[in-house]
Structure 1
Amino acid sequence: MDGNQSIGTLTHAGCRNTVVFSSASGGAGTSVFAAMVAWRLAQRKLQCALVDCDFAAGGIDVLLGIENEPGLRFQTVDIPLGKTEGAALNGELPQWERVGVLASQPWNGSDPEPWTVSAVLEALAQANDVVVVDIGAPSALHSLPMLRQCRQVVLAELTVLGLARARAARAMMIRQGESRPIMVGVVPRGLSRRGGVVDAHEASEYLHEELAGVVAPDRGLHGDVLEGLGIRAIGKSSRKAVDAVVGAIETGLGGDVP
């Protein structure tokens, strides 16, 4: 892989099993949902890596309660000449529920260079069945061009403003990529379905895209994350949406899985 290619985009093989998660609305639970999808993939006997490319905020290891586990973080990756072996990289990642986690800790160093990000993602894609990438906001794709051609999953907050932002993100991704993103609705905390929440059917019509599922608020999960206990279960409020996205990922891999 030459330098220009590594900065521009992942190879076709690398994009095939790399799935990018984002939300146009802050606080929609992108990192939690991405982690749940990675966990469910691991439960289905797929080797999975979870990568935190939200270099503005980061901290997915803190969210999962593994911040004190030894292992690589993006700020400590050292790749000579932009090349690395995926198996060796896998072996240095902290583990969470049989998922290798590469977190970003922006408070502990500078952002990795684009060629470093590309080399890491390409290596992990070669050494895993699926690489789940959390980029935070869709606008991060402007500084992560290597991910634009990969499969995208967008969390859409089910409010008027949230859906407007999600539709704009979807249009941008279609312009830049090769396929329509998977859309997942999110009911924001503090709102009931009767008070300011757009229903799934109306949301799908507005987005011109069927929602893969809807994630409802989970007080227990929210409390666990705030207390540093991590994600202890894939609850009923998220399970159908998680399984729908996992099913779409498996279909994209081209074959039945256990």
Structure 2
Amino acid sequence: MSPAPRASSHPLVVSSDEDLLDDVLRVLAAAGTEPQVASGGPALRRAAREAAVVLLGADVLTSPAVRALPRRPGVVVVAADPLPAAAWAAAVELGAERVAVLPGDEAWLVSRAADAVRSPVERGRLAVVGGSCGGAGASTLAAALALTAAEDADGVLLVDADAWGGGLDLLLGAEDAEGLRWPALTGVRGRVAGDALLAALPEVGGVRVLAASREDPAAVPAEALTAVVDAARACGWPVVVDLPRPGGDGGALAEAALAEADLGVLVVPARLRAASAARLLLSGPPGGPAPWSAARVVVRPVPGGLSAQDVAVVAGRPVAGELGHDRGALTRGERGEPPAVGPRSPLGALARRLLGGVDRPGWAA
């Protein structure tokens, strides 16, 4: 799961101010680049994620579509006049690196746009894993995805979003490794220095893990989860998020994480109630959000339970794979060893199939 190059090396300009737009387009022409132009709409979120640099007109700083954009580096606010205090605050909230006031900052903006096009920012992929019920095996699969992706990446971040799950570091055998756990980072918001964050986390087999604390469990705010994930992805690191069981804070975390995910996986034990719960998650409440709607379903077989085909019928979704039983997993876990993810192991084979099945280049392990 290597970092993926951005789909576009063009700047994105977001503005409805025709005079300002003319000035910005003239500056970008001087930089030798042709931008995308948008003012809103459903394609804005992806365009903002993939653009080499995002230039926001001062006129759109408070628009709902712009305020809902995910955090990323390379955001510049462009204005024709110095911003008032309220607009400055809005720019800071959006994580803008600078406010460029034209025409005074034209030379800087030409240089910034040209640099961005020559060296577009690369973002790491994001996989999100959850279970249709507690004890589904989502954490095991999340760890397997991270360990498998680490074979072809400079580093991978595994995020434990379940504050009361006992700590995902136990699954990797990293419970005694020094580094930050969630209570130290629940207050982070906005842009975070990714390199410093990653260096402060425990590491096992090329995977940095941000785990919950067994001594001081605390709920993970959606804003903190988004900030941590964005920081790692901005460094080009793939990220795997292990979501808590449905209900409580899990809904907000699922909505925040899955909105930007390249791969969502819902693990469903082969029981009628678990499959029925999966159907509810995949479809969402009537008229409400359905963050799991694009997820792939993985079945965990249980003795005397449903077949994979039965689970597909009940859940209303094809099954992408089965979380096969690994006879040595329990022994390795008790010895504090991470799951086996070799190509012939059940977990490794499933992880490779899931990572390789995403229809975007650069993801496959």
Q: TM-score range by the shorter chain?
A: 0.7 to 0.9
Q: Is the contact made by 2:128 and 2:265 (CA closer than 8 Å) also made in structure 1? A: yes
Give CA deviations for 1:211-242 in whole Å, capped at 9, x if unaligned. Answer: 111012223202322x2523241263323322
Structure 1 residue 54 and structure 2 residue 170: aligned? Answer: no
Residue aligning to 1:110: 218
Q: Structure 1 residues 60, 256: CA separation in 2 closer, same or farther (over 3 Å shift)?
A: closer
Q: Which structure would you say has the larger RCO, counting Cα contacts within 8 Å and 6 or more residues apart?
A: 1
1:132 aligned counterpart, secondary structure: strand
Is the 1:64–1:228 contact (alpha carbons within 8 Å) kept by the matching residues of 2?
A: no
Per-residue Cα deviation, 1:118-145 (whole angstroms, up to 9, x for no partner): 2212111212332100012243442324
Q: Over the residues paired in the alignment, what is the CA RMSD in angstroms?
A: 3.4
Sequence identity (%): 24
User: Per-residue CA shift, 1:95-118, capped at 9, x if unaligned?
Assistant: 111011111115325334443332
Q: For 1:243, which of 329, 349, 352 is the aligned residue?
A: 352
Worse-superposed segment, 105-114 or 16-25: 105-114
TM-superposed deviation, 1:82: 4.0
1:28-47 → structure 2 map (5 Å cutoff): 28-45=136-153, 47=155
Cα distance, 1:54 vs structure 2: 0.7
Look up the equivalent residue of 1:69 and give its one-letter code. A
Q: How many pairs align?
A: 249
**Unpaired runs of 5+ in structure 1?**
none
Q: 2:269 aligns with which of 136, 157, 165?
A: 157
CA offsets 1:176-206 (integer angstroms, 9 cap, x no match): 3485111111013xx1xxx2x2222232233
- Residue-by-residue CA offset, 1:55-108 (whole Å, 9 max, x unaligned): 232400122111111111111237666431111111111111101111111532
Q: Are 2:124 and 1:124 equivalent residues in the alignment?
A: no
1:180 aligned residue: 294
Asked whether the 8 Å contact 1:20–1:134 carries over to 2, the reply is yes
* Counterpart among 292, 309, 314 of residue 201 in structure 1: 309
Counterpart of 1:75 (choices 178, 183, 189) is: 183
Comparing 63-72 with 111-120, greater Cα deviation is found at 111-120
2:299 match: secondary structure: strand
Larger relative helix fraction: 1
TM-score scaled by length of structure 2: 0.59
Once the two structures are overlaid, the 10-residue window that deviates more, 146-155 or 87-96, is 146-155
Residue pair 1:184, 1:241 contacting (<8 A) in 2 also: no
TM-score, normalised to structure 1, is 0.81
Partners of 1:63 and 1:178 lie apart in 2 by 25
